[in-house]
A and B are shown apart, each in its own frame.
Chain A
Amino acid sequence: MSENRERLDRLAAELMVSGVWAGGRVGSDPLANLLAATAVSARDGELAGEEAAVMAFRAAHLSPIPELRRRSMLKTALAKLATAKVAIVLLAVGGGGVALAAGSGNLPGVGSPDSHPTGRPSTSVTASENASHSTAAAAAGTKSAEAGKSHTPSGTPSPNLQGLCTAFNAGAGDNPGKALDNPAFTVLITTAGGKDKVADYCKGVLASASAAHPTEADSHGSPSTHPSGEPTHPSGAETTPSHPAPSATHSH
């Protein structure tokens, strides 16, 4: 092989790029070894984003398919919710809301959390899950909608804003505005009061969470510093419809 390497023919090249992944000729040739080294199993650190990725999946997957109908529902519900006491939602941030939701027992979809396996689209709360990771944005929207309709704010579960903030921070990179185009963050944007306020808002949420006292959310000034009561919620309304397929906007 050594003598031929400088004139690797097309067939050999094709065999090499198609065969290495399956085990191929590793060990017999430096070039094959080099290619194999690019394709070894996952190494430490390469999967560091797993939790954030799964959180984003959870949030996005729980959005139902008929998105247009759902979005209008969500918007309506959020507008209603805004006229209610949003502070109550914020009070529940950090896990207290989950217990509240599960305990109230009168919210459709969460009446018997034990009976729903993780990942079922229709349920977002499972009793076995850690409270800080148990609620996702879309599901929170659903429950908020129902709570908003019946005007029972005391039963309003919180979206898992802490988890969304974690995902946001992990995925924001150097362009947080772009990350917020993800509909998974709609609830977060709305709660924060605008796309440009998410970063600061998350700072507060995560600080509250790290204080390990979820019920102290109000003592951190969160409700008063977040004008969630805006009746129009322009950012939430603007961002969600504006995500055309990536290939359409970035065709090359």
Chain B
Amino acid sequence: MRDGPSDVSAALLAARQGDEDAYRLLYRDVQPRLLRYLRVLVSDDAEDVASETWLQIARDFATFSGEIDDFRGWAATIARHRALDHLRRQRRRPPTGESFDELTDLPADHDTADAALEALSTDAALALVATLPPDQAEAILLRVVIGLDAKAAGEVLGKRPGAVRTAAYRGLNRLAERLDARDARGSTTPGVTKPNPPTLREVR
């Protein structure tokens, strides 16, 4: 996922000429991002929604124009719509409320940052992000995971860039508080985990 932008940009160009191998490269770049974003939106149904998303991407690919960043934003928009459709269909609460206490491998000490980074699984990190209010979680994921700038993330969410920055800012502070609380666990610090974080659907 950290390929140089030129590689994926070239792949996007080639894919638009019909190059399947280039399209594979696009998939390999974008799919993990979509899947992690969707994990927070629809939890265990992320794979299914991602499949629907890719069918639509393939269907509408000829209508897309833009650079690789635009493509990621476009794909994220499709994924988000499919996720919202999915939630409407399911009419149930996505089970995103994994307790912070379960994230036992979060880093406890800055000195062990390397080991902690290794220990902090992607799933655990996503689960922690998923405990945020949905607008904050989405803002962070679109920026960090999908890799969009504030303007592009705002376009996905139908918000102004400033609103995205604010949501990300608040979300990061909340995450920082929870990491602090986790570091302090064992002392008298009360938990800050909200047992039932609001879901995307509830907010909308």
Determine whether A69 belongs to the interface, using a CB cutoff of 8 Å to chain B: no
Distance (Å) between the CB of B90 and the closest chain A CB?
8
- 1/0 per residue, CB under 8 A from B, across A27-46: the answer is 11111011111111111001
- Asked whether B165 lies within 8 Å of A46 as measured between CB atoms, the reply is no
Secondary structure at the A interface, as helix, strand, loop or mixed, is helix
**B68 / chain A contacts, CB cutoff of 8 Å:** none
Contacts A20-B144, A60-B62, A173-B48 given; indicate if A252 touches B84 (C-beta within 8 A): yes
Give the complex CA separation of A170 and B50 in angstroms.
10
Give the complex CA separation of A16 and B140 in angstroms.
10
- 1/0 per residue, CB under 8 A from A, across B123-150: the answer is 0111011000000000111011101011
**B165 / chain A contacts, CB cutoff of 8 Å:** 10, 13-14
- Asked whether A13 lies within 8 Å of B169 as measured between CB atoms, the reply is yes
Determine whether B51 belongs to the interface, using a CB cutoff of 8 Å to chain A: yes
> Closest residue of chain B to A243, judged by CB?
B59
- 1/0 per residue, CB under 8 A from B, across A1-22: the answer is 1100111101001101110110
Q: Interface residue count for B (Cβ, 8 Å)?
A: 76
Determine whether B41 belongs to the interface, using a CB cutoff of 8 Å to chain A: no
Distance (Å) between the CB of A21 and the closest chain B CB?
5
- Asked whether B175 lies within 8 Å of A34 as measured between CB atoms, the reply is yes
Contacts A28-B113, A184-B58 given; indicate if A252 touches B173 (C-beta within 8 A): no
> Closest residue of chain B to A117, judged by CB?
B19
- Which of B21, B27, B61, B139 counts the most chain A CB atoms within 10 A? B27
- Asked whether A17 lies within 8 Å of B50 as measured between CB atoms, the reply is no
Contacts A35-B144, A179-B55 given; indicate if A49 touches B172 (C-beta within 8 A): no
- Asked whether A5 lies within 8 Å of B122 as measured between CB atoms, the reply is no
Determine whether B60 belongs to the interface, using a CB cutoff of 8 Å to chain A: yes
- Asked whether B144 lies within 8 Å of A38 as measured between CB atoms, the reply is yes
Contacts A49-B50, A170-B51 given; indicate if A42 touches B1 (C-beta within 8 A): yes
Distance (Å) between the CB of B15 and the closest chain A CB?
8
Contacts A38-B141, A52-B54 given; indicate if A65 touches B62 (C-beta within 8 A): yes
Give the complex CA separation of A120 and B19 in angstroms.
7
B residues 154-203 touching A (CB-CB < 8 Å): 158, 165-166, 168-169, 172-173, 175-177, 179-180, 183
Distance (Å) between the CB of B20 and the closest chain A CB?
5
**A33 / chain B contacts, CB cutoff of 8 Å:** 107, 113, 116-117, 120
The number of A-B residue pairs with CB atoms under 8 Å apart is 209
**B49 / chain A contacts, CB cutoff of 8 Å:** 173
A residues 58-79 touching B (CB-CB < 8 Å): 58-61, 63, 65
- Which of A21, A46, A167 counts the most chain B CB atoms within 10 A? A46
**A36 / chain B contacts, CB cutoff of 8 Å:** 117
**B149 / chain A contacts, CB cutoff of 8 Å:** 18
Instruction: Give which listed residue, B117, B122, B141, contacts A43 with CB less than 8 A.
Output: B122
Contacts A39-B145, A250-B84 given; indicate if A61 touches B55 (C-beta within 8 A): no
**A5 / chain B contacts, CB cutoff of 8 Å:** 176, 179-180
Instruction: Give which listed residue, A14, A34, A43, contacts B32 with CB less than 8 A.
Output: A43
> Closest residue of chain B to A10, judged by CB?
B169
Distance (Å) between the CB of B71 and the closest chain A CB?
13
Instruction: Give which listed residue, A17, A38, A118, A179, contacts B20 with CB less than 8 A.
Output: A118
Determine whether B76 belongs to the interface, using a CB cutoff of 8 Å to chain A: no
- Asked whether A31 lies within 8 Å of B60 as measured between CB atoms, the reply is no
Give the complex CA separation of A13 and B176 in angstroms.
11
**A183 / chain B contacts, CB cutoff of 8 Å:** 59
In the complex, the 5 A-B pairs of residues with the closest C-beta atoms, listed nearest first: A56-B58, A37-B125, A17-B143, A13-B169, A173-B48
* Interface residue ranges, B against A (CB under 8 Å): 1-2, 15, 17-21, 23-24, 27-28, 31-32, 35-36, 47-52, 54-63, 77-78, 81, 84-85, 89, 106-107, 110, 113-114, 116-117, 120-122, 124-126, 128-129, 139-141, 143-145, 147, 149-150, 158, 165-166, 168-169, 172-173, 175-177, 179-180, 183, 204
Q: 10 A-B contacts, Cβ less than 8 Å apart?
A: A13-B165, A13-B173, A30-B110, A33-B117, A38-B141, A47-B32, A53-B27, A59-B58, A60-B58, A121-B18
